[in-house]
Structure 1
Amino acid sequence: MPSESPPLRLGIIGTWGRGYYLKDLFHQPGGRSIITAGADVSDFALEKFREYAGPDALATADYRELLSRDLDAVIVSSPDYCHEEHAVAALEAGHHIYLEKPMAITVEGCDRIRDTARRVDRKVMIGFNLRYSPVLHKAAQMLREGAVGKIRAVWMRHFVGYGSDFYFHDWHARRDRVTSLLLQKASHDLDIMHWLAGSYASEVAAFGDRDMFGGDKPDDLTCDACDERDDCPEAQPLEDHFGLPHPRRQCAFREEIDVEDNQVLILRLASGVKASYLQCHFTPDTERNYTVIGTTGRIEIRLEKNVIRLLERPNNQSGHGDFDDGDGLVSLDEGATEGGHGGADPAVADAFLDFVRHDAPPRASSLDGRMSVAAAIAATRSIREGGVQRVAPLPT
């Protein structure tokens, strides 16, 4: 690997939430990169940014001021509905970008980002950290090597046990902010579906509803001011771990909530693979469970458990399969899953730095980001308008 001195200078738009977590990956004084500029509309977020970035770092409420600085790349970790604006502006200013998923909340927004990147010759990497999960990378390698024969089906289930906490007490519960939680959450899963199957979705039919959250409570009602707080199973803590009023404290049963919390999708991929995806935001547990079925076997992946199971299809002469729970388990390298998201987060950060400095292609392209959004939006359209919907093709 060529010399990496001096470290890459990064700016970050959206220094709180996911952006605050990213500091542990990208701010490495004496290492590969440092964050020298941060932009956020929250005074508190900028205060916490200054604590780790130091007094010489730029901390500003105006992201345009950040973009005027001499930086090697910019991290865009602002809310979903800001991604298009911030990404395009950063590219126009001459910066490579690391863009958190979803790429944008419209297909047109994704296409605009990609067109801008091509025109100004800048790099875009989507924060699809699950592509860097050691478990999923191992499974993808096995599939490419023919472990299940020709892939014919992909089944995915996402149990979102923290759905209330993260998605129904703040802006995530509004269509004008996220389009659908199929973009916010399922953009990861749909991308992994495309990756494992080696093909993009071409059409989708879906059902979904608000089966748990939303209701008739006032939009300005917060958990700390609610008379029903003591008896409400969705009540948020009064304070966060900084001792401040909890940032996600809007009532989960307020009137303005208009995104679905329970969705079922069936998809046809361009290769002919049939796929399904289920997402529920009020399950008691949290798990991603992926199954890929081919002509000679199937692989099952339990992501949170760091488990891969490979079962080979017996022929008729050897009888039908009768497998025990421990059969077919695939071992992983010791220590491979250490770090956030089962080892994926440190790896995706390194991949971005390699992309910027050494032009090493990432595992997910901007096209992959665009196609996951396009599939999610087609599914959302099916839920709300009915019928089988075509996934938006690339513009000609």
Structure 2
Amino acid sequence: MRIGIVGFGLRASLTRYAHAPENGHEVTIVCDISERGRRDAAARIPGVTVTDSLGELLSSGIDAVLVLTPDFAHAPVAIACLEAGIPTFCEKPLATTIEDADAILAAAARTRTRLYVGHNMRHMPAMRTMKDIIDSGRIGQVKAVWCRHFVGNGGDYYFKDWHADRSKSTGLLLQKGAHDIDVIHWLAGAFTRSTAAMGALTVYGDIADRADNSQRRMGEWFDVGTWPPETQTGLSEVIDVEDVSQVNMTLRNGVLASYEQCHFTPDYWRNYTVIGTRGRIENFGDDDGDAIGIWDRRHDGSAPPDETVRVAGEQGGHGGADPNLIGEFLRFARDGGTTETSPVAAREAVAVGFQATASLRGGGSALPIPQLDPEIVDYFERGQA
């Protein structure tokens, strides 16, 4: 398989799994509008063609393409790839607006070109283990899902580049939260019907040390030793997204869910609690060897889990999720069939993030999630056959 990449930035780390000539697939062309991106691609992939022309990439005879551009460019690039008939991997979140997300799905359905969205958390061992416990019936019927996301590296990851500019990201409830919103839907077995949220820019907006980081990469400014958060330097020239937020969701099957996100915590991890009619589960970390507790007996006050399951990680980024993600996409691009990720689910995660952001900036009232065209839903549910 000959693979193209559009956008060679942070998620170009996926190249290590896509470019494996010994396994029958290789990256043959990279398109990036920045000189830095083209230079990095040429250095990392010997013999690769680099270009700033999307048209050149689309006409190069590739068998699949990875769209790894900044999120606000996903829609025009992904639609062009789909219209060219090239099986397309689009990094998550699918888009930064509901309108753009729907346009990408419509293009895939119209052209009958295979679309895959990179929600790698569905391949993370910790999340898969929790899903297996739920599917086994151990905790009964799910009734509530709570997620707390401690984004300890938020100042470095999201407040020094375009992520901090709402005109490009919409907000971090969408850009960062789409990961966990998708997992909440997956664990609960339904999409969101309505959502309400609140949040604020409480820390990073007060830091005056700003810089233009457009020609730099996150690894060049990241410093885990920067503490407390008020000592951050070189923040984005534009910061108008929230650094702490919380959202409530009512799902279509009656499950109630919540998601809390904070970008200035000292620790960096996500904590899920899933409560069913016969018990609950909760993860303590999401890496190899971390624990998932199961409570399925009554206790007087706080008690240790009735059973503890250890997460068995794999080799590769995000606990083995990234190589599994690219492996599934390449198989799907070549052969079709079912996948663990879902373009419709990716759209629903964007829709919740978008409406939740509108809610928190508009007084916190509950807003409905617009429904996707049933014919498009049917097309994807049939496996894009």
- TM-score higher than 0.5 here? yes
SS in 1 for 2:22: coil
Q: How far 1:337 sits from its partner (Å)? A: 3.1
Within 2, Cα distance between the matches of 1:32 and 1:265? 44
Q: 1:263 aligns with which of 217, 241, 245?
A: 245
Within 2, Cα distance between the matches of 1:118 and 1:221? 39
Answer whether contact 1:148 1:294 (CA < 8 A) is retained: yes
SS in 2 for 1:264: strand
Within 1, Cα distance between the matches of 2:255 and 2:297? 18
Letter in 2 for 1:29: P
Answer whether contact 1:103 1:369 (CA < 8 A) is retained: yes
SS in 2 for 1:257: coil
Q: Corresponding residue for 1:233?
A: 231
The alignment status of 1:355 with 2:332, answered yes or no, reads: yes
Q: 1:323 aligns with which of 291, 294, 303?
A: 303
Letter in 1 for 2:259: Y
Q: 2:57 aligns with which of 63, 66, 70?
A: 66
Answer whether contact 2:207 2:232 (CA < 8 A) is retained: no
Within 2, Cα distance between the matches of 1:138 and 1:167? 29
Gaps of 5+ in 1: 1-7, 236-248
Cα deviation, 1:178-235, whole Å, max 9, x if unaligned, reads 00111211100000000000000111111100011124848656799xxxx9996212
Q: 1:304 aligns with which of 286, 293, 297?
A: 286
Cα deviation, 1:24-56, whole Å, max 9, x if unaligned, reads 11111211421001011222221221123223x
Within 2, Cα distance between the matches of 1:12 and 1:378? 31
Q: Corresponding residue for 1:391?
A: 369
Over 3 Å counting, the alpha-carbon distance change for 1:234 and 1:354 in structure 2 is same
Q: How far 1:358 sits from its partner (Å)? A: 2.2
Q: 1:377 aligns with which of 351, 354, 358?
A: 354
Please list, as runs of the form range in 1=range in 2, the aligned pairs for 1:1-396 lying within 5 A after superposition. Answer: 8-19=1-12, 21-55=13-47, 57-215=48-206, 217=208, 233-235=231-233, 249=234, 251-252=235-236, 254=237, 256-305=238-287, 306-314=290-298, 320=300, 323-324=303-304, 327-333=306-312, 336-386=313-363, 387-395=365-373
SS in 1 for 2:320: helix
When normalised by structure 2's length, the TM-score is 0.88
Q: How far 1:298 sits from its partner (Å)? A: 0.3
Q: Corresponding residue for 1:242?
A: none
Within 2, Cα distance between the matches of 1:372 and 1:182? 10
Measured on the aligned residues, the alpha-carbon RMSD in Å equals 2.2
Over 3 Å counting, the alpha-carbon distance change for 1:332 and 1:219 in structure 2 is closer
Gaps of 5+ in 2: 221-225, 375-385
Q: How far 1:338 sits from its partner (Å)? A: 2.8
Within 2, Cα distance between the matches of 1:186 and 1:42? 28
Identity across the alignment (%): 38
Within 1, Cα distance between the matches of 2:70 and 2:311? 35
